[in-house]
Amino acid sequence: MSKHALAVGVPALRTGQKSVERDKAAHAGLLLQRYLHGHKLKPLPSDSESPEERLLNEVCGLRVPAAYHTAFHRWQQFAQSQPGDCARLHFYLTAAAPIAIGLGNASPLEVGITLHHTYGVPVLPGSALKGLCRRGALRLKAVGTLDEQHLQILFGSGGDASAAAGAVIFHDAWYDPNSVDGQPFHRDVITVHHPNYYRTHGKTPPTDFDDPNPVPFLVIKPGARFLFVLDAAHESWAQLAKKILVESLVHLGVGAKTNAGYGYFREGK
C-alpha cells in the first residue's frame, strides 16, 4: 500500500485547493466543508492519524477572525438597545459542559456542527432556544405552575382560523469571542461499539467480537460564553421567557447528547 494511501485514504480534496495555506485559515466552516484531504482507511493503522482527525485539530487551533470581534461588538450594541415597539432583554450564560449543537447537519465528516454562516463561529439558533424553552414550559405546565393560556401566548398557536404568533422572539445566541481565549472548538469522539447491531436495526446481536468505530467530531468548549437576546411584546413576557430559558439551559441542556452530560450551562458572565 502506498504512503499516500496511508496518509490520505480515499482522496476528497480538489487539486486546486491543495496549495492553500491552511495555517492562515480563519473560517472554520469553510475548512470543514471544503478542505478534508481524504476519508480514512478502514481499518486505519493504529499509529496513524486519520485525515478527519487532522482537519479537526486544525479547526481547534483557529482563533475567531478579527471581523467577528467587530460584528459581536455591534451585536452587543443591538442587545443593549431598547426599541420603542417591544421590550428587549439580554443576558450571558457560560457553557458548563461541551455543547454539541447541529450534529445532524450535513458534513463531509459525518457529524456536523452549527456555525455562523458568515464568520464560521459557533452559534445557538433561536429556533433551538425556543424549542428548549417550550420544553421547559411544558414541564412547568405538567406540575401546575404554568397554564395553557400562558403557554399559547408565549409560543403562539396553530390552526387555520386561530393561529397566532408567540409574544417572544428568540434571537440566535452569539458566542462571546473574549471567552476561552477566542478558541471555542474542542475535539470529541463518538464510539459506536456495535455497528452491525445498529446497522441492522437490532437484528444482529451485539457481541464482544465487534469492532468499535470511533467517529471524531467538534463540540463547543466548556467555558465558552454566549450572549442571549429576547424581544417581547411586554417586559413581563420577556422576563418569564428568560426565567424559563435559563432554567432549561442549566437543568435540561441544549443540543444533542444531553443525557450524556452535554449541553449544560451555568449562570454568569
Q: Are 230 and 246 in contact (CB under 8 A)?
A: no
| pLDDT at 62 > cutoff 60 | yes
Spatial distance between the Cα atoms of 178 and 175, rounded to a whole number of angstroms: 9
pLDDT at 16 over 60: no
Q: Between 147 and 158, whose confidence is greater?
A: 147
Q: Tell which residue, 218, 227, 129, has the closest CA to residue 178.
A: 227
- pLDDT at position 21 is 62
* Average pLDDT over every residue of 106-131: 92
pLDDT for res 47: 59
Q: What is the percentage of the chain residues whose pLDDT exceeds 90? A: 50
- Mean pLDDT of the region 174-178: 97
pTM: 0.85
Residue type, position 8, single letter: V
Alpha-carbon span 122 to 173, nearest angstrom: 9
Predicted local distance difference test score (pLDDT) of residue 4: 47
What pLDDT score was predicted for residue 2?
Answer: 45
pLDDT of residue 1: 44
pLDDT, tens only, 87-115 = 999 999 999 999 999 988 888 887 899 99
Cell numbers 466543508: residue: 33
pLDDT in tens, 205-264: 888 877 777 788 899 999 999 999 999 989 999 999 999 999 999 999 999 999 999 999
- Residues 6 or more apart in contact with residue 258 via CB below 8 angstroms: 252, 264
Residue 14 has pLDDT above 90, yes or no: no
Instruction: Examine the pLDDT at 11 and tell me if it is beyond 80.
Output: no
